[in-house]
């Protein structure tokens, strides 16, 4: 039988210490309490949430006060704190105007049903900007958990992942995966199965008789490697000719280099005999179709096109067949995973990783 370490306070004793420190100091910060009581910040946050639900203390940004005390004055620009027993989660996404709005709506709907407050911050696909937003949420606002789609590649991305590990709050990655430590343990995540979505597009085009199917992705997209992997696997499984396969990485359609690269894609279609393309994402696919029309290339008669994302694909002329990632479902699942982590008192709860399947929306551009 294991004998408890007498130096380690039991939960009730630790909460009594929290209350005593509040009486002496007026306001205490989560990180200060965690260091002083030699426990994790997550443990302290749970203690504060329980004491707040019992009406003993009141939660404020980053910590707590006794109900008889006053919280620290808040800067005018800071959001007002929610009710004492209301969980607050922070959410950081790289864009607020493409792809991510439906993910955000999924999170907000699930959070509203659960009575949880969501504080949203937009970033710019830069690890330094993401770190700044996340630091504000954790260290100043004192959120209970994080939903984040961070940069995970390169030196800055790896440093950001390490920071998330030490943030002291539960973290769920959205549309990203990352591993930690010498054994490469996975962080909790919810992702679309982009490789499966790309394979679905290839199989659809193959059933229409296409034997040379190319793929076009943009260089800065975190989704691109998964799309190319799914495209390659499906081509191999279907026995599609490997010689001269068209796999092109371009700038996005906002780049000055895009028009020349687009013409090069169409030139390579002719040289390789490609009769169908999978293009990521919608703006690039729409621009490609418009260029085909200018050059007298019929879509889908001469070249079938399937896009990946389905944000504005249906607005194209002709409407584009598209792989639609399950964006709202991803948001709901990510919130559910974070809520389960926050509710589970077991500090050894295993990491959960969820994969959600996309949908193929068949329209005129491929048939």
CATH of the domain at 52: 1.10.10.10
- Domain membership of residue 348 (yes or no) is no
Q: What is the CATH number of the domain that holds 227?
A: 3.40.50.2300
Q: Give yes or no: residues 208 and 309 share one domain.
A: yes
Residue 176 and residue 216 share a domain: no
Domain boundary among 131, 153, 187: 187
297 in the same domain as 201:
yes
Rounded distance, CA 353 to CA 189, Å?
5
pLDDT digits (tens, 9 = 90+) for 64-114: 888 654 444 343 344 444 444 578 999 999 999 999 999 999 999 999 999
Domain count along the chain:
3
Does the pLDDT value for residue 33 go beyond 50?
yes
Spatial distance between the Cα atoms of 326 and 113, rounded to a whole number of angstroms: 20
Do 273 and 216 fall into the same domain?
yes
- 354 within some domain: no
- Which structural domain range is residue 24 located in? 11-66
Please report whether residue 198 resides in a domain: yes
Q: Which of 61-65, 104-108, 183-187, 272-276 has the lowest mean pLDDT?
A: 61-65
Phi, psi (5° rounding) for residue 294?
-65, -30
Distance CA 180, CA 324 (A): 30
- Domain co-membership, 265 together with 319: yes
Q: Express each pLDDT in 216-265 by its tens digit.
A: 999 989 999 999 999 999 999 999 987 667 999 999 999 999 999 999 99
pTM for the whole thing? 0.81
Query: What integer is the mean pLDDT of 145-154?
Result: 95
128 and 95 within one domain: yes
**The last residue of a domain, from among 135, 155, 187:** 187
Quick one: tokens of 280? 């990521």
Please tell me the distance from the alpha carbon of residue 74 to that of residue 76, in angstroms, as a whole number.
Answer: 6
- Looking at the structure, tell me whether residues 198 and 183 fall in a common domain: no
pLDDT at position 244 is 64
Q: What is the pLDDT of residue 24?
A: 86
94 within domain boundaries:
yes
- Does a structural domain hold residue 351? no
Does 335 map to a domain? no
């Amino acid at each position: 039988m294991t004998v408890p370490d007498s130096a380690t306070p039991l939960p009730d004793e630790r909460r009594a210490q929290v209350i005593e420190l509040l009486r002496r100091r007026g306001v205490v910060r989560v990180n200060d309490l965690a260091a002083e009581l030699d426990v994790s910040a997550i443990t302290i946050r749970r203690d504060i949430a329980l004491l707040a639900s019992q009406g003993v203390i009141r939660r404020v940004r980053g910590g707590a006060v006794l109900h008889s005390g006053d919280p620290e004055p808040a800067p005018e620009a800071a959001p007002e704190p929610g009710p004492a027993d209301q969980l607050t989660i922070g959410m950081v996404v790289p864009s607020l105007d493409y792809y991510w709005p439906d993910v955000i709506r999924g999170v907000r709907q699930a959070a509203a049903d659960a009575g949880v407050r969501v504080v949203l911050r937009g970033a710019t696909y830069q690890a330094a900007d993401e770190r700044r937003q996340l630091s504000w949420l954790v260290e100043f606002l004192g959120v209970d958990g994080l939903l984040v789609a961070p940069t995970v590649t390169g030196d800055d991305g790896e440093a950001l992942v390490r920071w998330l590990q030490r943030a002291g709050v539960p973290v769920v990655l959205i549309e990203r995966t990352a591993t930690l430590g010498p054994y490469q343990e996975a962080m909790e995540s919810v992702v679309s199965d982009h490789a499966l979505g790309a394979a679905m597009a290839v199989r659809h085009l193959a059933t229409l008789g296409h034997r040379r199917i190319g793929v076009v992705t943009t260089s800065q997209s975190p989704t691109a490697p998964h799309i190319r992997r799914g495209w390659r696997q499906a081509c191999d499984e279907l026995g599609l000719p490997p010689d001269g396969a068209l796999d092109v990485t371009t700038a996005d359609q906002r780049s000055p280099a895009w028009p020349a690269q687009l013409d090069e894609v169409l030139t390579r279609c002719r040289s390789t005999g490609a009769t169908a393309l999978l293009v990521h994402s919608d703006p690039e696919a729409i621009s490609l179709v418009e260029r085909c029309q200018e050059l007298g290339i019929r879509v889908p008669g001469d070249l079938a096109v399937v896009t990946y994302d389905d944000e504005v694909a249906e607005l194209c002329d002709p409407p584009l067949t598209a792989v639609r990632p399950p964006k709202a479902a991803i948001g709901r699942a990510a919130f559910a995973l974070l809520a389960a982590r926050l509710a589970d008192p077991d500090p050894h709860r295993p990491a959960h990783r969820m994969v959600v399947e996309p949908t193929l929306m068949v329209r005129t551009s491929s048939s």
